[in-house]
């Protein structure tokens, strides 16, 4: 792996490699942009480059072969910590931030070298945990890099954003997305690659999950209808989708891997609608109008995913979710928008 292998992200990658080459690495970075376009890899490359003792002065690439590089790759380097959501939780609790960032920061690193902390996804930090991290950004220690990775930058505290260098990763150009995806899914037909990429808004990571669980056909069949449905249709669609999720998915894990990309596509469409409404992204031409309060509904979709992860009944989870979406339907004759609609 190297920075050179992160395709289609010349802007953010050249900022990172330039900072490394000039030894002017910031103490805080926010890497933001769509899922699956190289943010996580860039964070890992930055860590490796900072920790590799064989990196030549004036260059940005780790050697990839020394013991430090090997430890980074295995995730066992004591100066490289990735803080993520605990398996049984839905957010990053303050206890983890204390244990994995604040306490190690209080100790001197063995060799006086860099220490790198990656928080991924940073939008999963709860308010307490985010405030705790903010303190370390306000009083940065020398040779410490804090890297926050997120596809949902609007969930980060403005005070955190203002103390970090924000690097925006872009949706990949179709040709590059296709190349990345084709390498990861050699058996897929070119038309399938394009359809999956289009559904996943150009993210090869999501497109790969969509392809590997045959979600594409299901999404083409139901996606637009779900975003436009009213309450009556919602019950029917919920039953159809729940049946599809259970079909051929005997175990909880099977069902989970099948449901995730489908729900990710749904959340993606809702977030796109929110960003278009806010003038933060162009509206997708020809897209279904979609429900009101799309950002809250996107959150609701993520909650449904967590409920499925916890083995709550598929039929129940999908029905609840679809009714919440239908409750915000923007179709003519839907409930009065001024009435207090509940999403949660």
Site stretch for Zn ion (CB under 5 A), options 52-60, 79-87, 213-221, 289-297: 52-60
Give the DSSP H/E element, type plus range, for residue 82.
strand 80-83
Beta bridge partners of 102: none
Residue 302 in the binding site for Zn ion (CB under 5 A)? no
Helix ranges restricted to H, 170-290: 174-184, 190-199, 204-212, 215-228, 231-246, 252-277
What's the min distance (Å) between Cβ of 115 and Zn ion?
Answer: 16
Contact call for residues 169 and 34 (beta carbons, < 8 A): yes
Residue 59 in the binding site for Zn ion (CB under 5 A)? no
Strands 115-119 and 28-32, sheet pairing:
unpaired
Which two structure tokens, joined as six digits, stand for 92?
């990053």
In the bound state with Zn ion, the residue whose beta carbon lies nearer, of 45 and 120, is: 45
Binding Zn ion (rule: CB under 5 A), the pick from 13, 69, 218, 318 is 69
Binding Zn ion (rule: CB under 5 A), the pick from 1, 15, 26, 63 is 63
Binding Zn ion (rule: CB under 5 A), the pick from 66, 157, 176, 330 is 66
Binding residues for Zn ion restricted to 196-255, rule: CB under 5 A? none
Beta bridge partners of 133: none
Site stretch for Zn ion (CB under 5 A), options 31-39, 63-71, 225-233, 329-337: 63-71
What's the min distance (Å) between Cβ of 52 and Zn ion?
Answer: 3
CB atoms within 10 A of CB 299: 18
CB atoms within 10 A of CB 132: 18
In the bound state, the residue with its beta carbon closest to Zn ion is 52
Residue 279-298 contact track with Zn ion, rule CB under 5 A, x = bound: --------------------
% helix / strand / coil in the chain, to the nearest 5? 55, 10, 40
The C-alpha atoms of residue 96 and residue 84 are separated, in whole angstroms, by 9
Binding Zn ion (rule: CB under 5 A), the pick from 22, 54, 89, 221 is 54
Helix ranges restricted to H, 22-66: 39-51
In the bound state with Zn ion, the residue whose beta carbon lies nearer, of 62 and 268, is: 62
In the bound state with Zn ion, the residue whose beta carbon lies nearer, of 65 and 283, is: 65
Nearest residue to 201 (alpha-carbon basis) of 278, 274, 266, 154: 266
Residue 52 in the binding site for Zn ion (CB under 5 A)? yes
Beta bridge partners of 32: 150, 168
Strands 115-119 and 165-168, sheet pairing:
unpaired
Residue 1 in the binding site for Zn ion (CB under 5 A)? no
What's the min distance (Å) between Cβ of 179 and Zn ion?
Answer: 28
Site stretch for Zn ion (CB under 5 A), options 9-17, 60-68, 229-237, 291-299: 60-68
In the bound state with Zn ion, the residue whose beta carbon lies nearer, of 6 and 226, is: 6
Q: Which residues bind Zn ion (CB under 5 A)?
A: 52, 54, 62-63, 66, 69
């Amino acid at each position: 792996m190297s920075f050179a292998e992160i395709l289609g992200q010349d802007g953010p990658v050249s900022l990172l490699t330039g900072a490394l080459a000039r030894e002017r690495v910031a103490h805080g970075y926010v890497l933001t942009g769509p899922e699956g376009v190289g943010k996580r890899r860039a964070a890992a490359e930055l860590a490796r480059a900072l920790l590799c003792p064989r990196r030549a002065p004036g260059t940005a690439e780790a050697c990839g072969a020394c013991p430090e590089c090997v430890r980074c790759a295995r995730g066992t380097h004591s100066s490289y910590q990735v803080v993520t959501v605990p398996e049984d939780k839905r957010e990053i609790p303050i206890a983890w931030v204390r244990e994995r960032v604040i306490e190690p920061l209080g100790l001197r690193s063995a060799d006086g070298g860099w220490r790198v902390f990656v928080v991924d996804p940073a939008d999963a930090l709860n308010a307490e945990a985010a405030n705790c991290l903010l303190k370390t950004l306000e009083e940065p220690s020398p040779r410490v890099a804090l890297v926050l990775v997120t596809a949902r930058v609007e969930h980060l505290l403005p005070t955190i954003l203002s103390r970090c260098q924000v690097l925006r990763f872009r949706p990949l150009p179709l040709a590059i997305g296709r190349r990345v995806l084709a390498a990861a899914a050699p058996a897929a037909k070119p038309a399938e690659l394009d359809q999956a990429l289009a559904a996943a808004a150009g993210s090869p990571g999501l497109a790969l999950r969509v392809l590997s669980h045959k979600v594409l056909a299901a999404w083409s069949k139901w996606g637009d209808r779900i975003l436009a449905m009213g309450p009556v249709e919602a019950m029917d669609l919920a039953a159809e989708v729940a049946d599809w999720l259970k079909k051929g998915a005997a175990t909880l894990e099977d069902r989970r891997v099948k449901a995730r990309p489908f729900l990710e596509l749904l959340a993606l469409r809702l977030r796109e609608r929110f960003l278009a409404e806010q003038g933060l992204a162009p509206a997708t031409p020809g897209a279904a109008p979609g429900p009101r309060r799309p950002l809250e509904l996107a959150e609701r979709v993520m909650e449904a995913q967590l409920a499925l992860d916890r083995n709550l009944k598929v039929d129940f989870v999908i029905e609840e979710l679809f009714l919440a979406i239908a409750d915000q339907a923007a179709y003519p004759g839907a409930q009065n928008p001024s009435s207090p609609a509940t999403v949660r």
